[in-house]
C-alpha cells in the first residue's frame, strides 16, 4: 500500500456475516486477501452458526 492514501481510496470488502462494507486497515496489510469479516464479533458469530 502506498503511504498517505485518502480514506475514500482504500480497498473495501463486504463482511461474510453481517453483509456490511468495511475498508482496509493497517493491521490487515499482509493478510488482506484472507480477511472475510469486519470484526472479531462477526467472526465468532459465523463460527457459532456453522458449528
Q: Residue 27 above 70 pLDDT?
A: yes
- Does this model's pTM top 0.75? My answer is no
Q: Residue 2 above 70 pLDDT?
A: no
Query: What are 39-48's contacts with CB under 8 Å, separation 24+?
Result: 39/15, 42/15, 42/16, 42/17, 42/18, 43/17, 45/17, 46/16, 46/17
Domains of the chain, by residue range, sit at 13-25+32-50
Q: What is the pLDDT of residue 20?
A: 96
Q: What is the pLDDT of residue 9?
A: 87
Average pLDDT of the chain is 88
Q: What is the pLDDT of residue 49?
A: 67
Amino acid at each position: 500500500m502506498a503511504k498517505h492514501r485518502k480514506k475514500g481510496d482504500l480497498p473495501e470488502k463486504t463482511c461474510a456475516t453481517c453483509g456490511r462494507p468495511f475498508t482496509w486497515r493497517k493491521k490487515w496489510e499482509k493478510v488482506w486477501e484472507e480477511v472475510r469479516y469486519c470484526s472479531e464479533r462477526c467472526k465468532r458469530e459465523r463460527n457459532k452458526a456453522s458449528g
